[in-house]
Structure 1
């Protein structure tokens, strides 16, 4: 079995909020190799540092966070608030999928609080479809992958769509055993955590993550959980490999 996972989300720290507990379980319990990619380097993620400086800091933080689960970090090098489904980012994400050849891909919910997340979801869905097609020539030196990977959408931020309606996950993964690893990975994004500490006077960065994980955990009677929906459109894999691996 191919034991490679690719997580493609918008910004450094998105994976840590949305699916790091599940990633940690897959590494620890099932021996998977994890790649965490972000569409941007988080260039708008500071009120005091310029875009180049904060981008460099946040890419380093992303690499540190990924290394906690022996993972590898990648940046697609788009810009914050300017992530759109178009030719260039589609080619870049398709190329990354071909290089990594994952069995499972995680990305954002199709409906979320900001457009970067929604557009990333569209790009990743399309790239997963394109990656096995030989005549979709993303890069002549990288061969197409054998078939479309399993594609999963993480919960939207706070579990709601842009209208405030609850988005119900198809299933939940118990992350009680890895919630501290998830917290350690999120804490690696010190530039964002420190900014919120300064402005809110509390560690809201970690508190909000723990609160939502606990909220989702209550749905299945555990201390902490992460929710997912599987893309089940025509030609995408139909078996729930993630549920089979961690919920069996």
Structure 2
């Protein structure tokens, strides 16, 4: 299968979905990590033009660590909007990945970039398979019944999981992926008084407690027309 994780920022994947992606790769599936923005606004000191390049390299290193494909959307960080231009970009990202499964942000997550990426995925879903959408760079992919899963919210706030993935055996590799995003550890400490390793440890342990394992990632499935609702497909 083709697995796509489409997120707003570099490191969103590692925080919320990396363990599940690792399990898919270990099972022989193809994984694409698509990052919609350039991450350029995520530091109070480093200039955006410099930070953009740093974060692109960090994202590449994290994807390479597990053998995932990387797609770089290059929208300016903090400037995601569900408008026509960005829908065109999202359609092309979906077409490039031709996914059987799509992971993305929950519609009620705390950050507007997260929420609007989620909205753009929803809006572009059918159009990825329609060959006559104007101004697209990529040819239409399969129209198929790709499953869409929403990732946990940061801190689990306002999120009621419907399905869990046991990531106990791959949690250390998830941490290694997150460690590739070196620029964010100091920035998150300064801006939000947050230690990223502590954050993923607490959340994965809490979700694991509910799921009956050591560490877990939590998801809800988008139940909508022609989204493939007849079977569980998570690892």
- What band does the TM-score fall into relative to the shorter chain? over 0.9
Cα distance in 1, alignment partners of residues 49 and 222 from structure 2: 35
Aligned pair count reads: 235
Shift of 1:197: 5.3
Other structure's SS at 2:126 match? helix
Distance of 2:192 and 2:149 partners within structure 1: 33
Which residue pairs with 2:173 in the alignment? 181
- Aligned partner of 1:60 in structure 2 is 57
Structure 1 stretches of 5 or more lacking a match?
A: 162-166
Query: How far apart are the structure 2 equivalents of 1:199 and 1:31?
Result: 39
How far is the alpha carbon of 1:11 from its aligned partner?
0.2
Residues 138 and 124 from structure 1, CA distance in 2 versus in 1: closer, same or farther, beyond 3 angstroms? Answer: farther
Structure 1 residues 143, 130: closer, same or farther in 2, change over 3 A? Answer: closer
Match of 2:67, SS? coil
Aligned alpha-carbon RMSD (Å): 1.8
Q: Secondary structure at the match of 2:129?
A: coil
Matched, 1:232 2:230: no
Q: Give the one of 205, 210, 216 matched to 2:196.
A: 205
Q: Find 2:82's aligned residue among 74, 80, 85.
A: 85
Distance 1:141 1:48, change over 3 A: closer
On the 8 A contact 1:4/1:34 being kept in 2, the answer is: yes
Structure 2: which 5+ residue stretches go unaligned? none
Q: Provide the C-alpha distance between the structure 2 equivalents of 1:8 and 1:149, rounded to a whole number of angstroms.
A: 14
* Aligned position for 2:124: 127
Alignment CA distance shift 1:140-1:11 (3 Å): closer
Using the alignment, how far apart are the partners of 1:199 and 1:96 within structure 2?
31
C-alpha contact (below 8 Å) 2:32/2:70 kept by paired residues: yes
1:8 matched residue in structure 2: 6
Cα deviations across residues 94-116 of structure 1 (Å, max 9, x unaligned)? 11211221111110001011111
User: Partner of 1:219: helix, strand, or coil?
Assistant: helix
**What TM-score do you get using the length of structure 2 for normalisation?**
0.94
Q: Distance in 1 between matches of 2:132 and 2:31?
A: 28
Q: Give the C-alpha shift of residue 195 in structure 1.
A: 3.1
Give the conservation status (yes or no) of the 8 Å contact 1:22–1:175.
yes
Q: Which residue of 2 aligns with 1:164?
A: none
Per the TM alignment, residue 198 of structure 1 is displaced from its structure 2 partner at its CA by 6.4
Contact (CA 8 Å) 1:92, 1:138: kept in 2 or not?
no
Change over 3 Å in CA distance of 1:210–1:134 after alignment to 2: same
CA drift of 1:37 comes to 0.9
User: Does structure 1 residue 95 correspond to structure 2 residue 86?
Assistant: no
